[in-house]
Amino acid sequence: MSQLHTPAPQTRLPPQAVQAVQAALHAIPMNATVGVRITDVGLGWAEGECPDTPPYRNHLGTIHAGAQFLLAEAVSGAAFAGAFAAHLAGAVPLIEKLETHYVGRARGDLSARAEALAGDLPAALQAYGAEGRARLVVNVSVRDGEDKEVMRAVAHWYLRAAPRGS
């Protein structure tokens, strides 16, 4: 993940938009099964959490990489949705790639923050307006109950206008 670029401004979405993004991501069965929750959403950023529950621990007794991956994907999707909130009703968001780097053993409840780079947002929005499709990269940091970073991820999201008549 690049640390040389400025993260997106911390503009929060209106409450109804935050609730819509939360509802969409909480309705995904796998997120609900593992307990992934989106706690806040803004313009190109989001935060989320995942509880430490025994069924989702690995052979070391720490939180399984799959649960961390799921949280990173969900929070990156929420950040992406926050960037394109005004367009989601007529669009199809898709994740193309999620690059992960596990940097420590996860103990306790997980929290995550995802952010697009501020400089990338205007170009992505302009591309969607002009072409009906856009890409946006979102950086994610997952922390454990000891507030230690345990995973970094880079999510590559794609948005295309929904076909007319669907």
Going residue by residue through the chain, which has 166 residues, state the pLDDT in tens, using 9 for 90 and above: 444 344 545 788 899 999 999 999 999 999 999 999 999 999 999 999 999 999 999 999 999 999 999 999 999 999 999 999 999 989 999 999 999 999 999 999 999 999 998 889 999 999 999 999 999 999 999 999 999 999 999 999 999 999 876 5
CA 3 to chain centre: 18
Stated pTM of the model: 0.91
The domains of the chain are located at: 15-161
* Fold type of domain 15-161: Thiol Ester Dehydrase; Chain A (3.10.129)
How far, in Å, CA of 53 to CA of 8, rounded?
32
Q: By three-state DSSP, how is residue 149 classified?
A: strand
